[in-house]
Chains A and B, each alone.
Chain A
Amino acid sequence: KAGVTQTPRYLIKTRGQQVTLSCSPISGHRSVSWYQQTPGQGLQFLFEYFSETQRNKGNFPGRFSGRQFSNSRSEMNVSTLELGDSALYLCASSLAGQGLGSPLHFGNGTRLTVT
């Protein structure tokens, strides 16, 4: 079974631009979560989607948004990029909601550099 696939692997953008990252979950997984990893803040939760609905959201500004499609694939978008948005963005998928013993499986991430 293929794992979580994130594209692209690397991105370089300029301040003020916007960016869209893509995530394909493990086949059959309906929940997709996004995390930001930086050296200073560590791993921080961005949001979670389940059956095309945002179920949970972290403490990030509105410039960070996401969506999930009917095939469970997800995208996240960051508008008006700032230097501090440079990070590794990780997507994780899960069979179902937490509480049913269904752990998160992570992709290899998209490394975003903002210059």
Chain B
Amino acid sequence: GEDVEQSLFLSVREGDSSVINCTYTDSSSTYLYWYKQEPGAGLQLLTYIFSNMDMKQDQRLTVLLNKKDKHLSLRIADTQTGDSAIYFCAESITGGGNKLTFGTGTQLKVEL
């Protein structure tokens, strides 16, 4: 079955890069996503990557996918205090429609 894991906490200084990691188990993943959740809000789509890609860059965000190791990472360059939030990775699988399996979320704290 599908299982997605993330570390629970990450603390970085403002201006540094943040790297949030995620591992998944299902080899039939089609898309992998990163969402951001701020307190009291829903999930904001940050970026997503098709499973046959190994990298995607979008402004300050870089997604790296190692399909062999089933490892996904999100790098945020020049991290700002406004980036403080919970970050979720999620996968969809072949034949699963729009069912996403989410990780537990990584709480990112950006300190001055």
Contacts and interface: CB of A to CB of B under 8 A. Distances in A.
A80 to B, nearest CB: 25
A48 interface: yes
Interface stretch (B19-27, B67-75, B92-100): B92-100
A107 B42 contact: yes
Contact of B92 (A4, A55, A90, A98): A98
Contacts of B97: 31, 48, 50, 55-56, 97-98
Interface in B36-91: 40-45, 48, 50, 88, 90
Given A48-B99, A50-B97, A103 B42 contact: no
Nearest to A55: B97
A45 interface: yes
B44 A31 contact: no
Contacts of B96: 56, 98
A98 B98 contact: yes
Contacts of A108: 40-42
Contacts of B42: 4, 6, 90, 106-109
A42 B106 CA distance: 12
Contacts of A109: 41-42
